[in-house]
Structure 1
Amino acid sequence: MAFVETVLAKTPQPLRSLLIKHRELLKFAIVGGICWVITMVVWYGLKWTILATKPVTAQVIAVIVATIVSYVLSREWSFRTRGGRDRHHEAALFFIIAGFAVALTVVPTLFSRYVLHLETPYVSMPTQEVADFIFGGILGTIIQTIFRFWAFRKWVFPQEGARARKGNVSALRPEDSPHVRADDEVA
Structure 2
Amino acid sequence: MSASGLTGLLGKLQRGGSEAAKFGVVGAVGWVVDTAVFNLCLHFAHLQSVRSGLISNTVVIGTNYIGNRYWTYRDRAKSGRSREAVSFVIFSGVGMVIQNGALALSHYGFGYTSTMADNVAKNVVGLALGAAFRFWAYRTWVFRGQAQDDVSFSAEERVPESASFGTTRASNT
Q: Which residue of 1 aligns with 2:20?
A: 25
Q: Which residue of 1 aligns with 2:86?
A: 92
| Letter of the 1:145 counterpart | A
Q: Which residue of 2 aligns with 1:49?
A: 44
- d(CA) in 1 for partners of 2:43 and 2:131? 25
Q: Which residue of 2 aligns with 1:37?
A: 32
SS of match in other structure, 1:56: helix
Q: Which structure's CA Rg is the greater one?
A: 2
* Higher RCO structure (Cα 8 Å, ≥6 apart): 1
In the TM superposition, what is the alpha-carbon distance from 1:83 to its structure 2 partner?
Answer: 2.9
Give the percent of matched residue pairs that are identical in Structure 1 and Structure 2.
Answer: 27
| Letter of the 1:47 counterpart | L
Name the CA shift for 1:92/1:162 in 2 (closer, same or farther; >3 Å): farther
Compare the two structures and name the one with the higher helix fraction. 2
Moved over 2 A (4+): 18-21
Q: Which residue of 2 aligns with 1:170?
A: none
- d(CA) in 1 for partners of 2:89 and 2:106? 26
| Letter of the 2:77 counterpart | G
Q: Which residue of 1 aligns with 2:144?
A: 158
| TM-score, normalised by the number of residues in structure 2 | 0.74
Q: Which residue of 1 aligns with 2:100?
A: 106
Aligned length: 137
Q: Is the contact between residue 31 and residue 73 of structure 1 (CA under 8 Å) also seen in structure 2?
A: yes
Name the CA shift for 1:79/1:66 in 2 (closer, same or farther; >3 Å): same
| TM-score, normalised by the number of residues in structure 1 | 0.69
| Letter of the 1:146 counterpart | A
| Letter of the 2:94 counterpart | F
Question: Structure 1 regions of 5+ residues with no counterpart?
Answer: 1-17, 120-127, 164-187
Question: Structure 2 regions of 5+ residues with no counterpart?
Answer: 1-12, 150-173
Superposition RMSD in Å: 1.8
In the TM superposition, what is the alpha-carbon distance from 1:105 to its structure 2 partner?
Answer: 0.7
Q: Is the contact between residue 93 and residue 156 of structure 1 (CA under 8 Å) also seen in structure 2?
A: yes
1:8-66 superposed Cα distances (whole Å, 9 cap, x missing partner): xxxxxxxxxx876611110000000000000000000110011x241111111101101
Name the CA shift for 1:34/1:114 in 2 (closer, same or farther; >3 Å): same
